[in-house]
Amino acid sequence: MISSTELARECGISQGTVDRALHNRPGVSPATRERVLRAARRHGYRPHPAARELLTGQSKMVGAILPTVNNIFFMDLFNEIGRALAAQGLRLQITPVENREAFLEALEDFAARRYRFVLTIPPEDNIAIPAQLASSLSILTFLSSCRGKGVHFLSPDEEQTGRDAVRYLHRKGHHRILHVTSSRRTYAIGARTRGCRAMAAELALKLHVLVDLNAESLVQALETDRPTAIFCHNDWLALQVLLLLSEKGVHVPEDISVLGVDNSPTLIALHPNLTTMAYPMAETVGAVEKIFAGKIISLQKERYKVIERATVRSFPGN
């Protein structure tokens, strides 16, 4: 990789002139410009981003931090955001982290590099962000928030999502619902279950909540409560449920219905029949773009939208 100074030496002119030529700025004779551009192309010249970042105090990079596990949907989301950012000349860099220490370390490094924004899925809930960090970096969190002022948590109203899911199944004629969720403590998990419970109470239908899914716990829940539908916290759990059911010889949707959440492109590609509630992807990408532009945006009013496919049946007369 050649530098603009070396380029200048090679062309027998000053570095300043090279710079003008490279940036298409006035004040260079056509002949000189052509000579510089040709030399630059020949050497595959690229300005050193570190030098530019040092000088301008700004980077074209946008950082992202993703836990090493449980990340398929967020990988999809970040891919989508990355696409939108690329259109603005920004580049998304994803760092996988295993635990809180690595998470904070990555944040520190991003801050030191003067990244303007960092998108994160914290590996744990409620991680405390040191004040120094929070003030020098705009942190956008998904899934679960962090402690620290200035950290922006971007999420739809998940209690509403739980309510919507139960109401949808109720409208389809289901009165006994199993809610499969996780024991992790994130905002989305807690709120969605609360929403489910609230709506189940309103509609006077039976709701059983199953945490920590496995073959035994699922069979037991099916036998105990005889649900006609399973609402899974996300598509990932829904697929797990589908695979477990198929091993037990239970047919979907004849014997039981399954509803997922996210409409994760990767997981739907795996099983295109899954009925699921689509995460407001486009709205999120739009919100991130607006936040980058300095606006304050919330997703609280955005709703997941049911995408009806083959894993939920409806009962006649409902």
By C-alpha distance, which of 26, 34, 4, 24 is closest to 16?
4
Residue 3 engages DNA in binding (rule: CB under 7 A): yes
CA angle, 255 then 241 then 263, to 5° = 105
Residue choice 38, 46, 226, 248 for contact with DNA (CB under 7 A): 46
Task: For residue 14, state whether it binds DNA (rule: CB under 7 A).
Answer: yes
CA 88 to the chain's CA centroid: 19
Q: Does 286 contact its own copies by CB under 8 A? A: no
Amino acid at 115: Y
Give the residue, chosen from 51, 86, 128, 282, that forms a contact with DNA under the rule CB under 7 A: 51
Binder among 24, 41, 44, 55 for DNA (CB under 7 A): 55
Based on CB atoms, which residue is closest to its own copies, 55 or 296? 55
CA-to-CA distance for 142 and 80, rounded, in angstroms? 14
Binding partner selected for residue 14 from DNA, its own copies, none, CB under the kind-specific 5 to 8 Å limit: DNA
Place of tokens 């027998």: 12
Please, what is the minimum distance in Å from the beta carbon of residue 216 to DNA?
55
- In the window 37-96, what residues touch its own copies (CB under 8 A)? 43-44, 46-51, 53-54, 59, 68-69, 71-72, 75, 78-79, 82-83, 86, 91-96
Q: What is the CA radius of gyration of the chain?
A: 26
Question: How many chain residues are in contact with its own copies, going by CB under 8 A?
Answer: 58
Q: How far is CA 9 from the centre of its chain?
A: 47
Q: Choosing among its own copies, DNA, none, which partner's interface includes residue 187 (Cβ < 5 to 8 Å by kind)?
A: none
Stretch that binds DNA, among 7-15, 60-68, 116-124, 216-224 (CB under 7 A): 7-15
Contact segment (CB under 7 A) with DNA among 50-58, 68-76, 213-221, 277-285 equals 50-58
Interface contacts to its own copies, rule CB under 8 A: 1, 43-44, 46-51, 53-54, 59, 68-69, 71-72, 75, 78-79, 82-83, 86, 91-96, 98, 102, 106, 108-109, 111-114, 130, 132-133, 136, 236, 239-240, 242-243, 245-247, 249, 251-252, 265-266, 269-271, 273
